[in-house]
Homo-oligomer: A and B are copies of this chain.
Amino acid sequence: MKRNSKLIPSMIKDQRLIAERRRQIIEGAVRLFVKKGFHKTTTREIARECGLSIGTMYEYIQSKEDVLYLVCEDIHSDLEKRLLEVVIESDSGMESLRKGLKQLFRVMDEMRPLVLLIYQETKSLPNDKMKYVLSKEEEITGLFERILHKGMQDGTIGIDPSSIKLMAHNIMVMGQMWTFRHWSLGKHYDVQEYTDRQMALLLGEFTNGGKRDGNRSDST
């Protein structure tokens, strides 16, 4: 789980200390990144905010971009952990989906500024780090893929197998859009309404069919 200790080298030997200090760094940096964005935050500000000297901070990272990576990685991990919490093996596909969606919207709301952050700043990562973060994103999407697949197999969710990937993405995006469109959505809906409506839309789709051909659009 703490594979990142390998991905970002440190001058420090004590692994426990690395974890502790990096936590400080993440927490300080998140506050600033949320407030001012990655580019407008200076390394000195980060150091001050997390209570380390600039020199000490650089013992635990190699570059400012590393801080962004740590932050993104941490938020993604948290997200994933909280989604996994509600998925129970013994549930049917539909039950899992229902719980997963509810949790998704709840988490997205609770972590709104954080999710918005990774949403906006992932692109500022250096290429290799960005790939890793995107793969994490895909992994979380994969969670919903598996739920949909289970539902398809146990007959509780009506969906064409070739649509599973897309629907998983749709679900994730519906979760995220609460963060990145909140400037507008927030004026008209609260979380509860937003959750109810989006769940109705998605679950409706899955109970009405999903394999129906009659409605297929001719978008030629």
Chain A residues near B (Cβ < 8 Å): 37, 39, 98, 101-102, 105, 120, 123-124, 134, 137-138, 141, 163, 165-166, 169-170, 173-174, 177, 181, 183-185, 188-189, 192, 194-201, 203-205, 207-209, 212, 215-217, 219
Q: A199 to B204: give the CA distance in the assembly, Å.
A: 15
B217 and A200: CB pair below 8 A? yes
Taking the nearest CB of chain B, how far is it from the CB of A163, in angstroms? Answer: 6
Q: A201 to B184: give the CA distance in the assembly, Å.
A: 23
Across the two chains, which residue of chain B brings its CB closest to A40?
Answer: B124
Given the known interface contacts A170-B201, A205-B204, A205-B205, the answer about A184 and B134 at a Cβ–Cβ threshold of 8 Å is yes
- On chain B, the residues within 8 Å of A170 by CB distance are 174, 177, 198, 201
- On chain B, the residues within 8 Å of A98 by CB distance are 217
A197 and B123: CB pair below 8 A? no
- On chain B, the residues within 8 Å of A219 by CB distance are 101-102, 105, 192, 195-196, 199
Across the two chains, which residue of chain B brings its CB closest to A164?
Answer: B188
Q: A200 to B140: give the CA distance in the assembly, Å.
A: 25
Across the two chains, which residue of chain B brings its CB closest to A177?
Answer: B173
B138 and A166: CB pair below 8 A? no
- On chain B, the residues within 8 Å of A141 by CB distance are 184
Q: A184 to B201: give the CA distance in the assembly, Å.
A: 23
The quantity of this chain's copies bound in the complex is 4
Given the known interface contacts A196-B217, A199-B219, the answer about A181 and B204 at a Cβ–Cβ threshold of 8 Å is no
Most chain B beta carbons < 10 A, residue from A37, A98, A185, A219: A219
Taking the nearest CB of chain B, how far is it from the CB of A61, in angstroms? Answer: 17
The contact of A188 among B165, B194, B198, by CB within 8 Å, is B165
Q: A7 to B183: give the CA distance in the assembly, Å.
A: 22
- On chain B, the residues within 8 Å of A181 by CB distance are 169, 173
The contact of A183 among B134, B166, B198, B203, by CB within 8 Å, is B134
Given the known interface contacts A208-B204, A216-B196, A216-B200, the answer about A185 and B169 at a Cβ–Cβ threshold of 8 Å is yes
Taking the nearest CB of chain B, how far is it from the CB of A111, in angstroms? Answer: 17
A124 and B215: CB pair below 8 A? no
Q: A184 to B173: give the CA distance in the assembly, Å.
A: 13
